[in-house]
Structure 1
Amino acid sequence: MAPTVLPDATHEVTNQPPPIAPYDASADAALLEGLRREGAGWAEADIRRLGRHAGSPEAQQWAADAHTFEPVLRTHDRYGNRIDEVEFHSGWHDLMRVAIAEGNSGAAWADERPGAHVARYAGLLVWGHTEAGHGCPMAMTYAAVPALRHQPDLAAVYEPLLTSRVYDPGLREPTTKRGLLAGMGMTEKQGGSDVRTNTTAATPTGEDGVHTLRGHKWFTSAPMCDLFLVLAQAPGGLSCFLVPRVLPDGTRNPFRIQRLKDKLGNRSNASSEPEFDGTAAWLVGPEGRGVKTIVEMVNCTRLDCVAGSATLMRKALVEAGHHVAHRTAFGARLLDQPLMRNVLADLAIESEAATTLTLRLAGAADRAVRGDEGERAFRRIATAIGKYWVTKRAPMFAAEALECLGGNGYVEDSGMPRLYREAPLNSIWEGSGNVNALDVLRVLGKDPSAAPALMAELTSARGADPRLDAAIAQIGTELADPTDAQTRARHLVERLALALQASLLVRHAPPAVADAFCATRFGGGGYAFGTLPATADLTGILDRALPDDR
């Protein structure tokens, strides 16, 4: 008798969520409301279109491929010629092409419409649902423009190409290309954040403004950019220089890539260690004022760090929400179980606070560019506050969202480990937590307009919530006491960040969101996500945060 053949029943797939794509990355009430409130409502149709593209299977596959097939360094060609090029997967190039075409790099500087910079940051918040690594050259190219304006003759040549919406990869003489990307080289192995200890030397050539560099850089990301702003020691002190990869005569400028960094996350983006030896460089800004010149770049890239972390939070929330809406356990959907609802709602208010703050900072940046001195003062201190806090919250957020998927979230196929590894980056890039906390103290001490601008923003919500009022009063007391200021810097900046987020939420978010945030962020909540009080309107919070999967 022939053996009985049993059906392949053990491999029947049940109780697993369907693929999340396609989804709409712009289906976020906090994002769209902030876009309109900060003066870029005219861009809403484009943001919605870009959000649908970001959540498409095609774009999500580009992201997965760019992460999986990492960049490869080619120091020499087949004949032995030094080329120092990095090869990227086609998925990376697809992401870059869309990002630049949509204005996520430098295009806002060429757009005269009020709100142009807000529209850019909204674009980052939705297109960032794809893959974070390619956001690095977007950020640096955007940030290079105001720094380069310290040298008008160079800005006249390169700014039109840095603000282009055309992705034109490959090393060629910059002015022959349809669009340029810019990077930055600041840190060295012996100094890190203390750039004044840099040893890279800049020697004048005798030609006005032209020097040759000799030295190294420890972290220079996106080495296939066309131009780099680099700090080096000139005879007059630490100065900022423009270093093109290809010289005006078409020859390669010495830019010896020693290796690519083996990083925890952000692996689609090449981070390198270049060495300079007779490298031609053009002075940007006054000699000896390199930090002051390049700080224009840092102020911009720090806001991109805030946006990057806010985007990661939102993406992680969407992934967690999708899973719990389609997974059952113990006889009910996870989304319908009270404790899971508490966790997800707590994540949702954290995400909304981060998104709302990002867009408020983007609005301040946009208005500062247009000459608003009050917004300039607010932007300077509030960006450092936001950089410290939002980027610090991202790793905790990613871990909790991953846990919502249980063991599935710990598997690479889910995409959650990629988010988890990415989460710490923005807290480190452009100044660690300590650097940004101390920068807040520095601004408070040096800029007499900073504290009034910040307090005006906080107190504009006075009377809306007694817990916020008490927090603002306590902040006023702490600001007036300089004792052990550096030791207490993190505590002060944390309180400032929470008060700033609460002030925005009580003015602009629904009561369910604002009340839950104030109830838990001002001493009444637990230390982990999912500790909202029983009185919190979980349904109101979740209906707002996750409209598509309910």
Structure 2
Amino acid sequence: MSLTSHDTETRGKNTYNFDEFVSRRESLDWYSDEPFLQKAVKKYTGAQFDQIHEKILAFSPRVSLKWNQLAERNARPEVRPYMLHYDAFNHRIDRIVRPLEVQQLENEVFGEGLFSSKMPPWESFVKRMLTHQIGEGGVTCPLTCTHGLIALLDQFPNPEIPQLQEILLHTKEGLNGEFTIGAQFMTEIQGGSDLPANVLEAVPDGKNFRLYGNKFFCSAAHADYSVVTAKISGSNKVSTFIVPAWLPGDKEKEKRNGYQINRIKWKLGTAELPTAEIQYNGALAYPIGPKDKGIAVAVGIVLTLSRLEIGIACAGFMLRASREANLYGDFRTVFGKKVKEYPLAASKLRKIKNAAKRTTAGAFKIYDLFLRLEKSLNPGINSDHPLEVRKQLFVLRELVLLQKICATNEGAEVLREAISVFAGHGVMEEFSALPRIFRDVVVNEQWEGPRNLLLTQIYRDLQRVADWYSPSDFVRDVLIGVPHETIAKFSDQLENLLQRPVLGEVSEASMKAAEEWDTYCDSFFKTYQEVALAEIE
């Protein structure tokens, strides 16, 4: 009996496809289809809700579909940034070559004017949280750095250097529809977060300075302006400077402002973002802020905003992970049942969803405190504010640090769990954005102070303020609304830990104390997030 052509065509053919899942995923609106996020917005925006809600509803489809598609294209290895050091005529240009899609995405994201005085802070906050859901994408790190640059220029106006006001207008409000981009270059080869160890030299040149030396981790190396820390010649104090990438008229000629980009680094995540090593050979730099307080200025303003933004990013990452894992769990059938119908998978999906909601709630609550505290940046622990204000500023300072270390740590765990819901497809880069976002959150965990450094900082901060802010009062003020027994437990634990050798010489006792301190901070901050979640729900 012979086979017909029809038999030949159909034999062995598998008709299974993912079209339904892909269609449902692409039709999702990351705001209108996220009821919890809308509830959070409603709670915190109050009388502004209707206006902001409408703005976000109009914004969300763009980021959910178009910007997400651009970010996916930018993520392919063959289009990652690379250096072109010379043009055809042997001129040193140090051009960072990036795909057109990332430039289009950058123009659209920055074109929103997210830090403009015309945009209400909560509208900017929610738009940024949604934008973070595309992953870093080559745009959200520069966006965060630009925020720090703007805050720095806002806080320290200097009419003697008119260029600073021009830079502020160009980055904050835009000129002729164009917004310029900021970066922060602080790390040197001998120490990342150890800014006092900086040796980059700033040589006076009239009212301005010239920079000489090397910076070793320079993300957003393509930026128009950068915040750079350096030591003025003959001084041991770190100062802060604004450095233009090009002087007027030189951008078109690709003639950089007295520096060279040695190479672009190859890193685990945020691969679409050019992170470079830079050699300064007399770059013109504008001083900003008190010359002997560069560390306080850089950390108190620029790094604080970056750390705050990382918490917002983690909330966005987790919301997306939860949404897509749940969608796939409802689509995929294994051994005759949907993935979500298995108890192990269902418990994992619930855990991911709860973490996403808790992290989002905490990010909203911290940002609300940030907005309510006037001039909340760079006050220092021993500022001149009244005692109660100093306490609130201190609470904000520690919450920003706690959120940064806890949200990034849990973010990596949540992304890994979400990937596992997809099984083998979870690690396929073209199937899901989650592997890329997982790598981004791991990078965020290291940027702006890794976990051990910030755990040390929190511990030292609490010791420094003990004479005017007791550990028990601090716990009570952070955990308002928590049962008295829980507050008493955390207070007793903190009192005890502050007497232990957490920062002492290495021994069995000090290592045990350090481990308990790590666990304590995680548990304490999650309790704060639970309070924030209960307030929304």
Under TM normalisation by the shorter chain, which class is it?
0.7 to 0.9
Is 1:408 aligned with 2:425? yes
Q: 2:11, 2:369 → 1: CA distance?
A: 59
Give the conservation status (yes or no) of the 8 Å contact 1:118–1:366.
no
Q: Which residue number corresponds to residue 215 of structure 1? A: 213
Deviation digits for residues 39-84 of structure 1 (CA, Å, limit 9, x no counterpart): 352312222222222222x333201111112112122222111112
For residue 185 of structure 1, what is the amino acid of its counterpart? F
Q: Which residue number corresponds to residue 159 of structure 1? A: 168
Deviation at 1:167, TM superposition (A): 9.6
Deviation at 1:328, TM superposition (A): 1.1
Q: Which residue number corresponds to residue 397 of structure 1? A: 414
For residue 242 of structure 1, what is the amino acid of its counterpart? I
Deviation digits for residues 324-370 of structure 1 (CA, Å, limit 9, x no counterpart): 11111222222233332211011100000111111112212222246
Q: Which moved more, 1:238-247 or 1:134-143?
A: 238-247
Deviation digits for residues 397-441 of structure 1 (CA, Å, limit 9, x no counterpart): 111100101111121212232122222011111110012212222
Residue 95 (structure 1) aligned to one of 101, 105, 109: 105
Would the alpha carbon gap of residues 502 and 362 (structure 1) be closer, same or farther in structure 2, given more than 3 Å must change?
same
Q: Report 1:183-198 matches (<5 A).
A: 183-198=183-198
Give the conservation status (yes or no) of the 8 Å contact 2:151–2:302.
yes
Q: Name structure 1 gaps, 5 residues minimum.
A: 169-177, 464-468, 510-550
Q: Which residue number corresponds to residue 477 of structure 1? A: 492
Q: 1:503, 1:454 → 2: CA distance?
A: 16
Q: Which residue number corresponds to residue 299 of structure 1? A: 304
Would the alpha carbon gap of residues 451 and 143 (structure 1) be closer, same or farther in structure 2, given more than 3 Å must change?
farther
Q: 1:291, 1:38 → 2: CA distance?
A: 33
Deviation digits for residues 242-300 of structure 1 (CA, Å, limit 9, x no counterpart): 11111246463122111111111111111111110111112111222110111211110
Give the conservation status (yes or no) of the 8 Å contact 1:218–1:272.
yes
Give the conservation status (yes or no) of the 8 Å contact 1:320–1:401.
yes
Q: 1:134, 1:14 → 2: CA distance?
A: 37
The residue matched to 1:219 in structure 2 has which SS?
strand
Is 1:337 aligned with 2:342? yes
Q: Which residue number corresponds to residue 21 of structure 2? A: 18
Deviation digits for residues 295-338 of structure 1 (CA, Å, limit 9, x no counterpart): 21111000111111221111111221111111112222222333
Q: Which residue number corresponds to residue 60 of structure 1? A: 68
Deviation at 1:470, TM superposition (A): 4.1
Deviation at 1:446, TM superposition (A): 3.7
Q: Which residue number corresponds to residue 542 of structure 1? A: none
Q: Which residue number corresponds to residue 368 of structure 1? A: 373
Q: Which residue number corresponds to residue 518 of structure 2? A: 490
For residue 211 of structure 1, what is the amino acid of its counterpart? F
The residue matched to 1:18 in structure 2 has which SS?
helix
Q: 1:457, 1:118 → 2: CA distance?
A: 24
For residue 80 of structure 2, what is the amino acid of its counterpart? E
Q: Which residue number corresponds to residue 230 of structure 1? A: 228
Aligned residues between the structures: 486
For residue 48 of structure 1, what is the amino acid of its counterpart? L
Deviation digits for residues 431-461 of structure 1 (CA, Å, limit 9, x no counterpart): 1001221222233234546968853554421
Deviation digits for residues 369-410 of structure 1 (CA, Å, limit 9, x no counterpart): 467946533321111110010011111111110010111112
Would the alpha carbon gap of residues 341 and 445 (structure 1) be closer, same or farther in structure 2, given more than 3 Å must change?
same
Give the conservation status (yes or no) of the 8 Å contact 2:362–2:533.
no
Q: Which residue number corresponds to residue 174 of structure 1? A: none
Give the conservation status (yes or no) of the 8 Å contact 2:135–2:317.
no
Q: Report 1:340-359 matches (<5 A).
A: 340-359=345-364
Q: Which residue number corresponds to residue 81 of structure 1? A: 91
Q: 1:377, 1:302 → 2: CA distance?
A: 15
Q: Which residue number corresponds to residue 148 of structure 2? A: 143
Q: Report 1:248-327 matches (<5 A).
A: 248=248, 250=250, 252-295=256-299, 296-327=301-332
Would the alpha carbon gap of residues 165 and 266 (structure 1) be closer, same or farther in structure 2, given more than 3 Å must change?
same
Q: 2:393, 2:171 → 1: CA distance?
A: 24
Q: Which residue number corresponds to residue 34 of structure 1? A: 40
The residue matched to 1:231 in structure 2 has which SS?
strand
Q: 2:11, 2:100 → 1: CA distance?
A: 39
Give the conservation status (yes or no) of the 8 Å contact 2:110–2:179.
no
Deviation digits for residues 8-63 of structure 1 (CA, Å, limit 9, x no counterpart): 4544332635212121111323322222222352312222222222222x333201
Residue 428 (structure 1) aligned to one of 446, 455, 473: 446
Q: Which residue number corresponds to residue 9 of structure 2? A: 7
Percent of aligned positions with the same letter in both sequences?
A: 21
Q: Which residue number corresponds to residue 47 of structure 1? A: 56
Give the conservation status (yes or no) of the 8 Å contact 1:239–1:290.
yes
Q: Which residue number corresponds to residue 117 of structure 1? A: 121
Deviation digits for residues 499-531 of structure 1 (CA, Å, limit 9, x no counterpart): 21122123322xxxxxxxxxxxxxxxxxxxxxx
Q: Which residue number corresponds to residue 385 of structure 2? A: none
Is 1:243 aligned with 2:243? yes
Would the alpha carbon gap of residues 459 and 489 (structure 1) be closer, same or farther in structure 2, given more than 3 Å must change?
closer
Q: Which residue number corresponds to residue 379 of structure 1? A: 396
For residue 482 of structure 2, what is the amino acid of its counterpart? R
For residue 443 of structure 1, what is the amino acid of its counterpart? D
What value does the CA root-mean-square deviation take over the aligned residues?
2.4
Would the alpha carbon gap of residues 294 and 370 (structure 1) be closer, same or farther in structure 2, given more than 3 Å must change?
closer
For residue 193 of structure 1, what is the amino acid of its counterpart? S
Q: 1:33, 1:342 → 2: CA distance?
A: 24
Q: Which moved more, 1:85-94 or 1:297-306?
A: 85-94
Is 1:462 aligned with 2:477? no
The residue matched to 1:335 in structure 2 has which SS?
helix
Q: Which residue number corresponds to residue 383 of structure 2? A: none
Give the conservation status (yes or no) of the 8 Å contact 1:238–1:290.
yes
The residue matched to 1:279 in structure 2 has which SS?
strand
Q: Which residue number corresponds to residue 384 of structure 2? A: none
Q: 1:11, 1:163 → 2: CA distance?
A: 57
Q: 2:176, 2:471 → 1: CA distance?
A: 41
Q: Which moved more, 1:149-158 or 1:231-240?
A: 149-158
Q: Which residue number corresponds to residue 540 of structure 1? A: none
Deviation digits for residues 144-164 of structure 1 (CA, Å, limit 9, x no counterpart): 122234531254332222212
Q: Which residue number corresponds to residue 546 of structure 1? A: none
Would the alpha carbon gap of residues 325 and 289 (structure 1) be closer, same or farther in structure 2, given more than 3 Å must change?
same
Give the conservation status (yes or no) of the 8 Å contact 1:214–1:275.
yes
Would the alpha carbon gap of residues 9 and 280 (structure 1) be closer, same or farther in structure 2, given more than 3 Å must change?
farther
Q: 1:150, 1:14 → 2: CA distance?
A: 59
TM-score by length of structure 1 reads: 0.83
